[in-house]
Structures are given as structure tokens and as C-alpha cells.
Structure 1
Amino acid sequence: MEHNWFFPPHDGIRLGDLAIALGAELMDAVHADRIVRSVSPVNRAKSGDLCYILSRKFRHELATSEACAILCDRSFVSLIPPHIAVLVSARPHTAFARAGEMLHPAAMRPEVIISAPAGIASGAYVDPEARLEADVSVEPMAVIGKGAEIGEGTRIGPGAIIGAGVRIGRNCSIAAGATVQYALIGNDVIIHPGARIGQDGFGYAPGLKPGMIKIVQIGRVIIQDNVEIGANTTIDRGTMDDTVIGEGTKIDNQVQVGHNVRIGRHCGIVSKVGIAGSTRIGDGVMIGGASGINGHITIGDGVQIAAMSGVVADIPPGEKYGGVPARPMRDFLRDMAEIAMRSSTRVQKKGGNDE
């Protein structure tokens, strides 16, 4: 794939300098003056591209790759052909992520739709009682409500709505069309397009007649520092308590977080996950895509939940769970193996009868 105008190549970083910045070892100093401009997968890398490998399954692509350099751990060095420079790192995936940030910094946050100096663009509305620190940018059609406070270096994208009294920290990106209400946002938070933060939680009581009566939702959403929230994700405000997203947590697109949920620090939550109200999730929890988490349960620190799982009860810290209902991974894998064996046996018997 040719470089395109959306993310053009970097002006160039010396490979020797890049190695130092990443804490990696350049295996042959003769390659130190090579210039790295972009990142690429191995199979279509060109001159100036940096790649990484984590598995031997890519070894057949290396012979024809035109990559400038490859990041890998020491066990893969012998696989790299001599025309490609080698950067050795104990954590090549992490080093590659850092290299990508250096080479393509503009891709790390939602794009700026209207390039303009910091300030309030024509067509935006900022309430006179809102307070904006220096170097805040408000793009066209954005609305900032009464009493909102926004910290230095934050950019509010076009069409975004920041509700009355909302507080947003410094160096945040609130992308196009996002809405933030009844919320306190920390520093260095990224909210992608179309995210909905702070709307009503889903709470109803049975009525005296057929139907339901809405339960008032008077809590807040609290999002701590360095959180990233994907496009079209929804985070409901609390009923009478707060919904809390812990520091460093990364939430993918199209995730639903119900009212009063508390998510710990440095969690990873993948697309289509639904978390029902009042669930408690510990630090460092990883939840695979399309999983459903029952309400009023506790998931301990360091838990890993496989994709498409249904979690109906508490999970102790450090466990790996999967399946519907979710159970310890060893039990889930044993059940899947037994189902596969039974299925294979039925097919064999059916084939024998047909003969």
C-alpha cells in the first residue's frame, strides 16, 4: 500500500536514534544511519518502513520484504535476512507502539477537522459563564454549556456538546459529535466521535398499572486520567452514586457501560461489551469483544474474560474465564473439546449408516 495523504510519512528518524529512544539494541551498527519514516506489516513493507514480528508464522514473508528494519525479540534474530536491519527488544510489541507514536503523532488522537489556532471558532457556542483555560480549541458547531470548565490544551471537536457544569481536564480530545453531560473528566482523556457520556441510566420500577415508572438518575460519570473511549460507546451516569472509569483504562467502540458501574485502572474492554448496572470491575481486567457482564457482580483484579462470554456471577482475582455462562477457562476448554468430540462421533456414525 502506498503512503496516503491521511497519514503521510515522517520526515525521518535515524535508526540509531530510534533504537536509543526505544531502549532497543541495534544488532549491526552499520545500519545506524538508515532513515525510518513509517510503519508497515512485513509483507508490504518498503524502504523506510519499520516492522515487527511476534511469531515465526511470518518468516516466509521476510525474504521478499523491503523493510528498513524489524523489531523482534532475540529468539527471532536468526530469521531476519541480512538486507533488513534488526532492532532487538524484550518487548517488541510495546517498542513498536512507541515507534508508531513517534513516526505518526497525528494518528494518536481524533483528527482536527478545522485547522485553526486555539480559540473559539465561528459557529461554535460557548456560554458566557463557561470557563476555558488558555490554548483551548472549540471547533465549529460545538456547544459548551453554562458553568462548564475546560483545561488548557483541550480540543472540542465540531458538533460536540459539553453540558452545563461539566469539568474537563487538560490536554483532552473530545471528538466530533460526542456528548458529555453530568461528568468530571481528568487529564489526557480521549473521547472518540459519537461517544455518549452521562445520559440517563436504564432504571424503572413497576407501575400501579401495566407499565413502568422511571427511576430518577442523579449521579455523575467520573473519568480519570489517560482514559480512552471509543466511537459510539455509551457510559450512563449513576442513579444516586457515580459511574467511574479508572485511570488508564481503554474502552473500544460500541461498548455499553451501565449506571453505577465502577471500572478499575488500566483495564481493556473490547467492542460490543455490555456491562450492566452496579457491577464492580477491578484493576487490570481484560474483557473480550461481545461479552455480556451481569449487574451487581464483582470481577476481581487481573481477570481475563474471553470474547463472547456471558458473565453471570462474581469472578475471583487473577482468573481466566470464558463461555456462556462464563466459567474457569480450563473447564470451558474441556467442555468445548467434549462437544467437538461428540459432534465428530455423530458425524462418523451418520456416515457409516449412509453406507
Structure 2
Amino acid sequence: MIEPRFFVSPEPLDIDRLLELTGATAAGRDGAGLAIRGVSSIERAGPSDLSLVIDGAPPVTLGESRAGALLLSPEHAGHAPAGAVALVTADPLGAFARVAAALYPAAARPQAIFGPGVAPGAVVHPEARLEPDVSVDPGAVIGPRAEIGRGAVICANAVIGADVRLGRGAAVGPGASIVHALIGDRVTIQQGVRIGQGGLSLLRPHERLPTAPQIGRAIVQDDVEIGANATIDRGSDRDTVIGEAAKIDNLVHIGQNVVIGRHCVIFADAVIEEGARLKDYSVLGRSDGRSAAVMSAPGVRRAPSA
């Protein structure tokens, strides 16, 4: 199993809870007494671990697994070892994600190192408004008139600018900065993210034009996930908008006035040029064979290689 130094599972999951989370059908050995305390790869799993069987897994490796339970598709069900509970589902990957989230909820978003409440060393402007159960680590700065929703987490050295609104259950990782922005509920913002800063206009890059002030906002809707060191410019004469439940990987740059649709996925190193529009459920960036599709859109390009 994975060494549980950083992420410890609080309670084991029995067969009933596993079936509830996954919607799978149990096969193989009787699930009585099963207690899943972790997740692991097929070759490293032990009797208290759940493993995922993906397409192309060698039957020999699968048959030799010591995992207590296996998530697998119907075509692999016949290869499960006799000692494992086979959880058969048409969506093993999605089921695995739900089980892992139930076992390790703290791994899904940044956590306050100093625990709940406003820690000594945090700087909160007296005009800022914090709802109950907000956690703020040392070194974090919250500006005047900022509004922070219930249950939000702001990690060390993060900056929340004046008038920013951060929704309930949102998490802001260490060293991130948010200015000129409205952030929805349950948004995850990883380490070093920059939201709401000004950006360079690329519409007429070769002309010596004066720098125009950017007076728009960056709006990030509910349930968005933003990877480490991504940057999202605020709009110039309108808003930059990131749609509900979009997933943005590490090191993505989103230019001013961009509109990202709902449930989009943008892989690492993508550059979304100013004014681009992405339809709902678009997938952009590199493909590793597991993506459903890789789509292009006007205004989208990859960062040049060094």
C-alpha cells in the first residue's frame, strides 16, 4: 500500500459503503469482513487496499494481485483473483476517484497547515468580512472589503486582494494571489496560482501601443479546479470567465477576456490567447491516449518549446 505519512484514512470502508460509492456489482469472494483502508496499484496492493484495473492490464499481473478489492470493467471480471472482491462497473476510473476521495478527503485540496481559525501571523484587514469556519495560515494577507465564505481555507503567504469575493468551501494554496476577482463556491486553487492580474495584449503585438488599463474582472464559477502556477488574467473591457467545474492543469496561461465553458479540461502548458471562447466540455492540450478528445478552438495555441 501507499505509505500513509501525509494522507491517513480516518475510517475503513466496508463492502456496503464501497457499493454505495461505486454503484458497482460485487463478484468473486464474499465481501463480509472487508475493510478497505487505502488504494494502491495492482502489484503493490495488500488485503486492505482497493486497486483499479484499467484497459490493457495484463491478466497475469491481475491474477496475482493481493488486493482486497478490485474495480474493473465487465470484460475483466473473469480475471480477478479468487481472494479479491471484484467490483464490476462500466466506469472503473470514476468509481476509483469517488472511493479515493472518501478515503482521503484532505488530499483533494490545499489544507491549512495551522488548522482551523485565523493563525497568528496572518494579516486580515479590519474591513474584510470572514464568515465562520474560515482558516487562514500565517503570512496570508486579506485586503479591505474582501469577503471570504464559510469553510474557506487560505494557506500561508496567499494574498486575497481588496474587494475580492471567495466562495464557501474554497481553498487557496500557499503563495497564490487573487485580485480583481470573484471566486465561486468549492473552488480549488493550488500553490502559486495568479488570478486577476493584468496581461499583455497580443492583438497587435508588433506596434508600439500605450498600455491600456484593464478594468474587467476574473470570474471563476463554482467547483473549478486550478493547478499550480496557472495564471488567469482579468479582462480589459469585459470579464475573463472560467465556467463551472472546469479543470485547469498546472502552468496554464489564460489571457484577458477569455471565456472558458463549463466542464472544460485544459492540460498543462496550454496558452489560451486573449478573447478566445471555449465551448462547454472542450478538452485542450496534450493527449496521452486516455482523453476522450483533444479539440482546438480559435485563439488557442501551445506555449513554444524552450
Contact 1:220 1:237 in 2 (8 A): yes
- 2:133 corresponds to: 135
CA distance in 1, matches of 2:73, 2:297: 40
Contact 1:205 1:214 in 2 (8 A): no
- 2:226 corresponds to: 229
Larger deviation: 18-27 or 162-171? 18-27
- 1:91 corresponds to: 91
Contact 2:201 2:274 in 1 (8 A): no
Residue 185 of structure 2 aligns to a residue whose secondary structure is coil
1:263/1:255 CA distance change after superposition, 3 Å: same
Larger deviation: 75-84 or 271-280? 75-84
The count of aligned residue pairs is 297
CA distance in 1, matches of 2:112, 2:254: 27
Per the TM alignment, residue 92 of structure 1 is displaced from its structure 2 partner at its CA by: 1.1
Unaligned runs of 5+ in 2: none
- 1:218 corresponds to: 215
- 2:103 corresponds to: 103
Q: How does 1:146-295 map to 2 (within 5 A)?
A: 146-203=144-201, 211-289=208-286
CA deviation string 1:182-219 (max 9, x = no partner): 00011010100100000002127989xx9442121111
Between Structure 1 and Structure 2, the one with more helix by share is 1
1:40/1:151 CA distance change after superposition, 3 Å: same
Q: State percent identity of aligned pairs.
A: 42
- 2:8 corresponds to: 8
Contact 2:174 2:190 in 1 (8 A): yes
CA distance in 2, matches of 1:212, 1:111: 43
Residue 57 of structure 2 aligns to a residue whose secondary structure is helix
1:14/1:312 CA distance change after superposition, 3 Å: closer
1:74/1:202 CA distance change after superposition, 3 Å: same
Contact 2:276 2:298 in 1 (8 A): no
Contact 1:203 1:215 in 2 (8 A): no
Per the TM alignment, residue 24 of structure 1 is displaced from its structure 2 partner at its CA by: 1.3
Contact 2:112 2:136 in 1 (8 A): no
CA deviation string 1:135-192 (max 9, x = no partner): 1111111101111111111111110000001011101001111000000011010100
Unaligned runs of 5+ in 1: 291-302, 316-321, 324-355
- 1:18 corresponds to: 18
Aligned: 1:113 with 2:113: yes
State the AA in 2 paired with 1:188. Answer: R
Per the TM alignment, residue 11 of structure 1 is displaced from its structure 2 partner at its CA by: 3.2
State the AA in 2 paired with 1:83. Answer: G
